[in-house]
Amino acid sequence: MASGFMVVTAVGPDRVGIVDDLSGAVTSGGCNIEESKMAVLGGEFAVIMLVSGPAASVDSLGDSLVHRGETLGLRVSLQRTRGPRSEEKGRPYLLKAVSLDTPGIVHSVTALLRRYAINIEDLETETAPAPWTGAPMFRLTAHLVIGSTVSVNDVKRELAHLQQQQDLDVSLKPVFGPGSEPGEC
């Protein structure tokens, strides 16, 4: 029996029970949620998930999720895809940046990563008030895969320059698997 994979995105007004409604629809459709990211952004709930199952179940789930989304007040989008890929060739790193919130930080950091053909596996940002002053603080966290031919020292040098230009606090550290070494995982 052939397996199928689909990326499902849904956005709509936040309310209690949305995750249960969506996960229940996936399960009752004979499918499984492989990976997901969910967040409330402003007053909107947003989810992106990779769903798998027998190809026929994934196909019928897609049709039912669009209809179910409408009844839940969600805009649902579907994209057929392949299964999760095996690990990228390269070295896993964790990039963190913190600063006062100013426009253009994400663009500056991602443009630098692009110049070195560094793949961003996962990127999250948030803005929150600083503890004592209440000033808006920006935080970026990204999991990266750095190719074996890329000089990490060159990347760190450019990040240091960016750090000075935009008054950022930036760190780039290798990610070690469980049991390898203490530190970031």
Tokens found for residue 14:
């936040």
Place 19 in a pLDDT band, splitting at 50, 70 and 90.
Answer: very high
Per residue in 35-80, pLDDT (tens digit) is 999 999 999 999 999 999 999 999 899 888 988 889 889 999 999 9
Q: Which 3 state secondary structure label does DSSP give 115?
A: helix
Compute the distance between CA of residue 182 and CA of residue 176 in angstroms, rounded to an integer.
8
Q: What is the pLDDT of residue 85?
A: 67
| 53 part of a folded domain | yes
Number of independent structural domains in the chain: 2
Percentage of the chain surpassing pLDDT 70? Answer: 92
Q: What is the CA radius of gyration of the chain?
A: 20
Compute the distance between CA of residue 52 and CA of residue 26 in angstroms, rounded to an integer.
9
| 180 part of a folded domain | no
Domain that holds residue 140: 91-174
| 49 part of a folded domain | yes
| 144 part of a folded domain | yes
The last residue of one of the domains, among 48, 81, 114, is: 81
Whether residue 157 sits in one domain with residue 103: yes
